[in-house]
Structure 1
């Protein structure tokens, strides 16, 4: 946190540039106001050439307060202590101390600033109550304790103000870091969402194309009509995949615009079954009526989960049949996809992220996925997606699996 604070302060203060404007302003004001202050403190030493040089040395050190805050705060306090030891009048000289202390505390060197100002305060006490006998002005007595109280109050006020600003800047730095982290998370989540969408779109369509391409090659010389059918299926699957990919890419290019075509949902379940059939997979469905009245997010997630589950059957299962069961227990939508196996065990050419993508989609909706071998053989995917109050009220009593077959 201290390093982050220093980097933040360096960036905000322009550590690569010398703060000459503020330093010049302090120098001019100190020189002008000290002469006026001397009239209010006639018992102090007149500010001669040496005093003017000391008054210039403090603002000159302030030029380096952003690059070297610790040496500057100690240097300014030392110069101020020499100025006080020479018996010159109190007043504007302390502006340089306040500014140096402020810069050191805000830059994260609070202990150094406390130490430097504490040393100045202790030195002032020493001068005012012991060393005054040997220091100008001649015949000076011990400093009044009222003056010491004022100096002490000034030191506490400078340190307190610096700490308040430091805390505020730390909070700004934390807020900015949190905003950047949140932005990175949003970017990562959007990238994962796009990757998941593209995977689901392409995996299913390319699986169908792969199967049909194999059928077409095998029957090209023996059954021209069947080969033509396979090529027609390839054309339709590739056209649909291109359309969905184009929709995703259009969303990327114009993130503020609404999609030109609606996102797929379970109302397109029959198309999904037809595509699976074109890949040689026979799919039976139970509970289609339970898929009605879903929110867009739940509808899309359910469609993609079923799509990926069927794609995995095409790729990895030796079975040519699959069963989909859609149910609606209280507060949830359950999707069950089963096949009778066995697993092919060969390289299906996939990315290996299908189950991961399904789990991510379910988790994004607050749901879960259970996937694994069935006790009697084959494979089962069980997805559970929570439903909102509106979706539950639109259930119309469809909670069983076989009533609306």
Structure 2
């Protein structure tokens, strides 16, 4: 069902491991061509293009791309009390953990009236994407909106695909979650086109361009985010989900298997990888998988994901080798189900989020840990981070110098401007101290 990869006794350098890590066949570059066309179409034809794309990809035709305030109110009224209370608790935890991500402003003084202040300033407007393909994700509404609110973003727009089963509208549970958070600007649009609409704006429906686009999605959403990056900021390329579990011989194979299945449930292209130094555990997990997969609701989807080229059970010599493998892979979600976490954790450098011990499954982070579930995939964890309040903040430096403070560094400025053959730079400083200059 799941491919074995035996790395015991193999070289562990980045290049060798890089060739051996399991990855999906559909990579983001393949999706880029079609994403580029969809974005260009939305930029050129606005709402018409969005409606056509909904019909084509979601099999649904929204009567209007923009959701009315009444729909949000009635969705919230119809929300089940159990789901409402779960969402409220998730909001509370994510708000608290996101608040810890807002850096404090600082003030650096060089004496004599020379000051550089650092302030962290929110962007004006953001577009948040909530996927809606194979499942409904009210949790993603929380994960996107709360950090933006904590950062102080003033203008927040939300997009989620049109749903055939809901008259072409956004899924009511998503609308209800938005309503809980006070979000009123919501659009029924999905995929690459939605990302393009955020980046370029759609004047006919009052959708103004945004400064930052965030949120998870499939490979086309990730490709679209890569394409609009530069025109707008993005959080990361949060594409199809990945889980990598590092487990030793003492891990519970039933729990490891359950966690692999939990992420494989998202999508046929989801990646589930176990890395272990115990052949006995590997065999036990494989046995448990066959039982759990047959019993789970989305067993076909799970089986497809587990048997794909992106999933594997990897045997390594020891846990240090497991860490090397994981760092090259850069998993979105990393679980450490090992007895000696204290020795392993310092060896881990690249992961979107790290879940420690038997009582911290990835699904805890998907919903209620307080951590964010919008995380980089496809190796992006090597250089980017998950979504947080910081995604919506820009550090800005504010420079204030007195006359005497400027006088103190003036000769240095003149020296460097001459060395760079940019004499007017130095002259702009000297002009302030010329005899005819009045203070």
TM-score, length-normalised on structure 1? Answer: 0.16
Larger helix share, 1 or 2: 1
Provide TM-score, normalisation by structure 2.
0.15
Higher relative contact order (Cα pairs below 8 Å, separated by 6+ residues): 2
Larger radius of gyration: 1
